[in-house]
Structure 1
Amino acid sequence: MNTQHPEPILSCDSAIAALSCEDNQIRYYAAWWLGKHRVQSGCEALCNALADANYRIPSGGYPLRRQAARALGQLQNPQAVSALIAALECDTDLRLREAAIQALAAIGDEKAATPLLQLLQSTQEQPYEALIEALATLQVWSARLLVEPFLHHPSERVQCAAARYMYLLTQQPQYIERIVKNLNHENMYLRWAAIFDLGSVGHQQAVEAILTAKVPNSLKLLNLKRILEAVLDNQHSQKETSQLIFKAIDDLLFQL
């Protein structure tokens, strides 16, 4: 590890170099910086940081490893897939595992499907929300029988993730209704989680639900944009759905 005082992080090279200094806070910031600026040349250094054992907090977590995983998700570089899959083996830090799962989903490499399925089949506790969302993003539809029981999980966020998976698989609107009901939940964070789940499905019912949700207009715009991108990518999408989204975005922009 570099024992010299690190240069200020003002460039890609200085951020990469800072990952090997002794100051854990600077290393953490360097990982964040590389992810924020999507520095592809930092991929190898971030993958190395995924195996770091020096920065560990009393509760047992690895902050640098978590941030490295998040940064790799922002880079979306397929070269990081093997290192992220290896990071899944850390069973003492579920937040690290969650960050690695989310990064693998963002990259979208099908090689992640098998290790993610193995986690879902495990008898140990898992970050189920992220795990089920990743399986949906990767279109691992063979997990249906494993996912369906989570529609009755004690966590409403996990229920929503399972409903999202089931809707994307079956296109049955009853699963959207499972998510929509959380838009009026008294817990603000559950409302936010529900609107992001709706943002991942390009259905007219999801658009209408987002417009009436008790969430900030900025979140509505963000998720309407996600739906619009999915609709425009799908040549078979209904024209009225895209027209509805365009009108909704215009109306929300006038309110800002």
Structure 2
Amino acid sequence: MSSIILSAQHVSKSFSVRQNDDILALRDVSLDVHELEFLCLLGASGCGKSTLLNMFAGFTVPSHGDILLRSSPIVGIDPRCGMVFQSYALFPWRTVRKNVEFGPRMKGLSAAECRAIADRFIDMVGLHGFADHYPAELSGGMQQRVTLARSLAADPEVLLMDEPFAALDAMTRHVLQEELTRIQRESLKTIVLVTHNIDEALIMADRIVVMSPHPGQIKAVIPNELPRPRDMDVQLSRGWGELKKEIWSLVAGDVSLHAS
């Protein structure tokens, strides 16, 4: 197994909702993320998966326990961890290329270097020919590709993704799920992705961390050894169905509780 790049060690997180009243969002969560791994955090709404992701990003500080990046505590936002949100958050007045160049420019690289980096990742996410377009001229799926290219161009060691495809239609989402697995192989990035979609986790993840709510805890960590690429033949296989059934049995009660 490759080395550990991210780690949560006995992490708990409470939020104050009113005077003298706290909500425990996470309780005693311990998890290691391995270098070059694609890890999915999966569970019903309210299980703390986004809270844990935000602590990995340095946006949120744990109430107890430690969050480590390469064995050192994360004490704030760290450029080694890049975040991709569900919303695209692109600069509407900048072209695709200028949006993707933003990170390299902040590092002080030359215009030529920034352009070369941007063009590399624009091609990687399948947007060749759209570098001079503006976000408003693109579909939602294309805008999310730009967001991904911009994150990759900043060269983080870990890419943190909070349900990045949830707002997209089913067909576009499926295409981008397969594209993201390809991009991870090409870019050699560690990815931690939050999802509540079992099929999405099965398509992409090396391991699936199933979380339970009230408060958020890790219920199970399931290796996903389905063969890649996880195309339609794999998705119709017995192994896929058995793994999906196993995961659903872990989350079904939590989903029913949340919906009631």
Q: Compute the TM-score of the two structures, normalised by the length of structure 1.
A: 0.30
Higher strand residue share: 2
Q: Which has the larger radius of gyration?
A: 1
Q: Compute the TM-score of the two structures, normalised by the length of structure 2.
A: 0.30
Higher helix residue share: 1
